[in-house]
Structure 1
Amino acid sequence: MENPGGNVRRDDEVVVVGGGVIGLATAVVLAERGRRVRVWTREPAERTTSAVAGALWWPYHIEPIASARAWALRSLDVYEALAERPEETGVRLVEGVMGETDPADVEGWTAGRLTGLRRATADEYGAGTGVRARLPLIDMTAHLPWLRERLLRAGGTVEERTVTDLAEADAPVVVNCAGLGARELAGDASVRPQRGQLVVVENPGVRTWLVSTDPAGETAYLLPQPGGRLLLGGTAEDDAWSLEPDPVTAEGIVRRCAALRPEVAGARILEHRVGLRPVRDAVRLEREELPDGRAVVHHYGHGGGGVTVAWGCAEEAAGLVCPAGSS
């Protein structure tokens, strides 16, 4: 795709590298603030790691905790608005239980923002202490295409291309939302894969979501999605690169979920999904000035919390593209 300005770079042009939820949300914020935005992505949104996400709003495997919670609460504002049009946006507000969680701890950082937050009853969660709340649950098969269309309506463009060097981007500012690809593009070996596997089954009638962690640290979650689908998870295998579904892992996921909701046992399997979460000790969100006068805003390392923090983080990244006081 050609630069609309020919060989002359415009000061308001931005290239966003990465077409997952973080890249698209950042591009949307920039485009709706008047920037001329081009997204360069190796794969269409439907084949990114974001497409595999269970996509329940909850800060998960993401640091720094204080920033992540602030980004998450800002994103909650956005998702609650988007949930008014679920068929279009893929965002719904759904009741469920977060196991092994104390209500006081949640109230401490959500400051009354969660609808219906209370301690789960024994009937709702008999495995231990849990909280019940109404949270955004996003259908990524609908949400990612909607994000892309929103970007296009704002004047942005999306181009599928493999980027091997951030210097390839012919714009005054490049935003690096490459996720795990930042290992090479930014020379950052501290961002590493955390393998997550899901099993999609025909929903036997589960209407609420549930997340539970057993004493051994293994997680089970059940996330109902439109179209009669139920997502079962999950795993968190550090430094594992395989994208092939593992049958033994899948059997374990179904077994753990069926222990919580017996009706899941024997549900027809529709699909297996595997994704590599871009985990880092902390999200990298900073601006770097290049020797040639251009700038790179690094925006990656969101682990399993990318969907949860996407909008709050995108707004902060957009602020770094054009810092206060700059021309």
Structure 2
Amino acid sequence: MGAGVIGLTTALVAARAGHKVTVVAANRPEETVSSVAAAIWAPYHAEPATWIGPWAATTFEVLAGLAATVPEAGVQMREGIVVHRAGTAPLRWAATVAGNRPARADEVPEGAAGGTVCTVPIATMSIYLPWLQQQCTSLGVKWAWRLVQSLAEAADQDAVVVLATGLQSHGLHSDDGLYPVRGQVARIGNASIEQWIIDDANPAGSTYVIPRANEIICGGTAEIGATSLLPDRETEHRIMDSAVRLFPGLAEGTFLGSRVGLRPGRHLIRLELRDEEERSVIHSYGHGGSGVTVSWGVAYATLDLIGKAASSSQQRTVTRPH
């Protein structure tokens, strides 16, 4: 259930393992929050760290492999800078990337305390999501584009149901721990920028600039509880002003518009196998702003749960923090 980056990646991994897979979703990939994502490998708004670390490492390895050998997947390895600001804790993940180094003074914005330079995968989602879908189709994955509001509608009792539904549960579960984290980004074309930058503690507001194959994504926001999908013009101006200060050349680019997505926030990611309504159900959501970053790790962990579900009809629950 669900055709965002978690759902598609899980479907692909399961199909590669020989399972018969049907993706059931009300929204096509280009209509999901995954299509709005900046899609840089960067753990963001997701816990617990004990799960995120291994899943992110697995995903890094897979995406780096795609960047090196499958250019049509739309993944590139790019060097960039994570900015450090005085009085705020630096983002820890940058120091875990192989080959990282301290940024030179001339590489960081004025007023910054320092930074970390590293090379990470970036996915152009308008290319990557269709590639995932095509890979699934080539392995026999079937597609059912419809709204499902009960487990009985979703699949037969002997099927394993994976709920990779993000915020869009439509009554399939009653997890009240989920909440929206609104993100707004601006899209710029016809501008040449090779490096990305993440300046999370920028005094003007969290700022990032992520170059992709066919556009540059500038952000951003993380508004907990906000639900509007309409771009806010004041936020748009703030994002662009901050981005242009970091990369003046953006002012010469073409503004392609703003997009908004609602990240599926949760105090902890939920990946759990349960027996519900006489069928095996795997809950897989709450990935926050880390969907792309953990996608392959989550998919392989889900594959393990599918195997457990197939081997037993008794109620099973993955031990997890609460």
Unaligned 5+ residue runs, structure 1?
Answer: 1-16
Match of 1:8 in 2: none
Output the CA distance in 2 between the equivalents of 1:32 and 1:279: 29
Match of residue 264 from structure 1? 250
**Could you give the per-residue CA deviations for residues 58-79 of structure 1, whole angstroms, max 9, x where no partner exists?**
1110111121111000111100
Of 200, 204, 208, the match for 2:195? 208
Instruction: Tell me the percent identity.
Output: 39
Mark the runs of 5 or more structure 2 residues left unpaired by the alignment: 313-322
Deviations 1:247-272 (A, max 9, x none): 11100000111221222235321121
Give runs of aligned pairs for residues 182-261 of structure 1, distance below 5 A: 182=169, 184-214=171-201, 216=203, 218-227=205-214, 229-261=215-247
Residue-by-residue CA offset, 1:226-251 (whole Å, 9 max, x unaligned): 23x21110011111111111111100
Q: Does 1:298 align with 2:283?
A: yes
Question: Which among 12, 16, 20 is matched to residue 4 of structure 2?
Answer: 20
Q: Determine the C-alpha separation between the residues in 2 that align with 1:258 and 1:317.
A: 41
Partner amino acid, structure 2, of 1:169: A
For residues 268 and 215 of structure 1, the distance between their equivalents in structure 2, rounded to whole angstroms, comes to 24
Specify the alignment match of 2:127 in structure 1: 142
Q: Which position in structure 1 is the counterpart of 2:74?
A: 90
SS of 1:162's partner is: coil
Choose from 22, 27, 50 the match for 2:34.
Answer: 50
Shift in CA distance, 239/106, structure 1 to aligned 2, threshold 3 Å = closer
Counterpart in the other structure of 1:14: none
Runs of 4+ aligned structure 1 residues displaced above 6 Å come to 101-104
Q: CA RMSD in A?
A: 2.0
CA deviations 1:270-290 (Å, max 9, x no partner) are 121110000000111000112
SS of 1:97 mapped into structure 2: strand
SS at match of 1:180: coil
1:123 match: 106
8 A Cα contact 1:72 1:312, kept in partner:
yes
Distance 1:163 1:116 in 2: 46
1:272–1:65 Cα change, 3 Å: same
Paired residue type of 1:176: L
Q: Structure 1-normalised TM-score?
A: 0.88
Deviates more, 1:199-208 or 1:238-247: 199-208
Please give the residue correspondences for 1:159-178 in structure 2 after superposition, counting only pairs within 5 Å.
159-171=144-156, 172-178=159-165
Distance 1:53 1:24 in 2: 15
Q: How far 1:138 sits from its partner (Å)?
A: 0.5
Shift of 1:291: 4.2
The answer to whether the 8 Å contact 1:166/1:185 transfers is: yes
* Cα distance per residue 1:113-161 (max 9 Å; x no partner): x343101111111322211111001100000000001111111112211
Question: One-letter code of the match for 2:290?
Answer: G
Which residue, 277, 288, 298 being the options, matches 2:274?
288
In structure 1, what residue type is equivalent to 2:100? L
Q: Which amino acid aligns with 2:216?
A: L
Distance in 1 separating the partners of 2:78 and 2:276: 45
Structure 1 residues 283 and 142: CA distance shift in structure 2, 3 A:
same
1:274 maps to 260
SS of aligned partner of 1:179: coil
Question: Aligned pairs, how many?
Answer: 305
User: Measured at CA, do residues 217 and 182 of structure 1 come closer, stay the same or move farther in structure 2, by a change above 3 Å?
Assistant: farther
Checking the alignment, whether the CA contact within 8 Å between 2:44 and 2:290 is kept in structure 1 is: yes
Matched letter for residue 122 of structure 1:
A
Match of 1:151 in 2: 136
Structure 2 Cα separation of the partners of residues 183 and 305 of structure 1: 22
Residue 69 in 1 paired to residue 53 in 2?
Answer: yes
Q: Distance between the aligned counterparts of 2:200 and 2:45, measured in 1? A: 14
Contact kept, 8 Å, 2:42 with 2:93, in 1: the verdict is no
Other structure's SS at 1:53 match: coil
Contact 1:103-1:117 at 8 Å conserved across structures: no
**1:291-314 deviations in Å (ceiling 9; x for gaps):** 42x110000110000000000011
Quick check: 1:203–1:224 contact (8 Å CA) kept in 2? no
